[in-house]
Amino acid sequence: MRRITDLSLLSGMLRLIVLYIVILSLNGCASTKSVHEKYQPIPRHLEEYIERNEFSVAKGEDVIGQLAFIGLERGDSLPDIARHFSLGINGVTAANPGVDIWVPEAGERIMLPLSFILPDAPRSGIVINLAAMRLFQFKGDSESLKVLTYPVGVGTEERPSPTGQMNVWRKVVRPTWHVPASIAEDHRKKGDPLPAEVLPGPLNPLGEYALYLSKPSYLVHGTNKPASIGLRATNGCIRLYPEDVKKLYENTPVKTAVNIVDQPYLIGQRNGLVYMEVHASLEDVDDDEFDKMYRKLKKIEKESGRMIDWNKVKKVLAEARGIPVPIFEIRQGSGKGVAEPVEVRHPGELYGRPEIPELRADAWSVLAADVPDRIEAVRLAAIINHQGPQIPARVVSKNASYHVVAGPFNDISEAKDAIKRLKIDLEIDGILIEREAAKPPAPGAVKESPLAAEIAKTAESINLRGYALQIGVYAEEKNALSLAEKLKQKGYEASILKNGKKPLHRVLIGRFDTKKKALDESRLILQKEGIKSIIYRY
């Protein structure tokens, strides 16, 4: 990789394109999001299910799948949406710039990037595109070709995944991880010494299934960290969601060819249209791949006898959303049209979403943080919940602040292990909360029995974000109580929120998932009762 400022080897056209991207990038994420919103198509269909893994490949075509949209619900996070639809977090965030990963707005409509351009490689065996962080497994022949595709996590910049031709050497169910010396040394420096080998179980980073490649020390395997799929987070291996690696394992014979490529710029055809898909960052440009993409586009121009709209190309490069975008009709009138995106109904339950058990006063727990802002507390709890293996966490409101509490843990050793992992993985200094029934206190424990009992009674789930209508604010509680009583007599769901160092008493009506619902209710109350309100975000 060479820095984007090294333009000496690029053609004049390429230099203009790259400079355009650099200038556009100076406007930051806000500019990207406005482009995203402006060109976001509105689907006309509603679907209960959309295919996410298995597709037929039409002869002579390169684009598979279909884009979709889904409305988010309160408590959703993008990693949970990504896993349910077999997408990597990279794909979901790139397709939806500006959306909060951990605490997105309830009611927000996001794209599911379930359409892909196949890599420029022979369509047999397994092909992995590191740039797209996606694996493609081909079945059948050119007359009846199918492809199974899954998102993957790949190597970091320090320990990148290899490229080139190899094959599946052997397969193992419930593999033992033999810790490489370099990785053991990294963990030792962080104060996290590893054993020489890690047996199968929840602490094994290889998961339940592993395909060992003919290139020594590299594997395609599962994971105990599902939220890392779609990230550069491995030591060079390729990791998949647990449910995806099981299907891959069952469908892959030993000696299957594996071709690993790194193609950030993809050009493909479907229904008479040329599509472009970009996974390159604005900071680095792979000159060889960039030049290859440019030559393909010039060849299409020459063969068609028509000029490509280079402004479209610039937009796709600038946005780099990782989705196939139509840029050219091969022959005028030959295109059958762009496949319309569909709207997918939100599932009743997101597959793989971390479960958060109820806190108990008779169990151990850990205070991970005490923050004044509820949204930040919810965000931190979500991040902790998505550690692998999971550390269950939730938010507990206490006076004018919010506690992020991990647990419950059945014994003190589990709680102390969670404290250690919070420190190593997230640089969080957790405080041990002793279970209420523990006598005498264990050495090193911080006795907080009253807090433990309170947590067990008042713990809230991660699903906290919303809106209410604020009708009035009072310093005196009796005035707030009087107004709330009058509102209740009129049939409204009134409540009082007390917060601040010098407590103010807010009289609120209702709880709403979205700001729009709150605004609609505010207008209705004003029209019906003449009561004015403002939107309060809790």
**Structure token digits, residue 36:** 């995203």
Sole residue written with tokens 């509490």: 405
273: β partners: 270, 329
Is 178 catalytic? The answer is no
Residue 40 domain-assigned? no
Confidence of residue 282 (pLDDT cuts 50, 70, 90): low
Per residue in 25-67, pLDDT (tens digit) is 333 333 334 334 444 454 455 688 899 999 999 988 999 999 9
Q: Does the pLDDT of residue 495 top 60, yes or no?
A: yes
Residue 21 domain-assigned? no
Lowest pLDDT segment from 20-24, 370-374, 393-397? 20-24
Say if residue 180 is in the same domain as residue 292: no
Say if residue 125 is in the same domain as residue 257: yes
What DSSP string describes 180-249? -HHHHHHHHHTT----SEE-SSTT-TT-SEEEEESSTT-EEE--S-GGGTTSEEESS-EE--HHHHHHHH
Is 221 catalytic? The answer is yes
Higher pLDDT, 138 or 291: 138
129 by DSSP, 3-state: which? strand
261, 291, 314 - which closes a domain: 261
Domain that holds residue 279: 265-344
Quick one: pLDDT at residue 13? 41
Higher pLDDT, 465 or 55: 55
How far from the centroid of its chain's Cα atoms is residue 118's Cα? 22
How far from the centroid of its chain's Cα atoms is residue 90's Cα? 6
Q: Is 404 exposed, middle or buried (0-12, 13-18, 19+ CB in 10 A)?
A: buried
Q: Does the pLDDT of residue 113 top 70, yes or no?
A: yes
Which of 84, 221, 279, 505 is catalytic? The answer is 221
Q: Determine the average pLDDT of the residues in 259-274.
A: 94
Q: Indicate if the alpha-carbon torsion angle 72, 77, 78, 84 is positive or negative.
A: negative
Cβ atoms within 10 Å of 38's Cβ, excluding its own: 7
Q: Is 8 exposed, middle or buried (0-12, 13-18, 19+ CB in 10 A)?
A: exposed
Say if residue 146 is in the same domain as residue 215: yes
Say if residue 249 is in the same domain as residue 301: no
Which of 29, 36, 187, 237 is catalytic? The answer is 237
Residue 41 domain-assigned? no
Say if residue 500 is in the same domain as residue 390: no
List for the chain the helix, strand, coil content (%; round to 5).
Answer: 30, 30, 45
Quick one: pLDDT at residue 190? 85
Say if residue 424 is in the same domain as residue 458: no
Higher pLDDT, 16 or 227: 227
Say if residue 308 is in the same domain as residue 391: no
Residue 82 domain-assigned? no
**Angular region, 75: left φ>0, alpha ψ -120 to 50, beta rest:** left
Say if residue 257 is in the same domain as residue 312: no
Q: Indicate if the alpha-carbon torsion angle 281, 282, 285, 289 is positive or negative.
A: positive
- State the CATH number of the domain containing residue 397: 3.30.70.1070
Say if residue 496 is in the same domain as residue 472: yes
Residue 105 domain-assigned? no
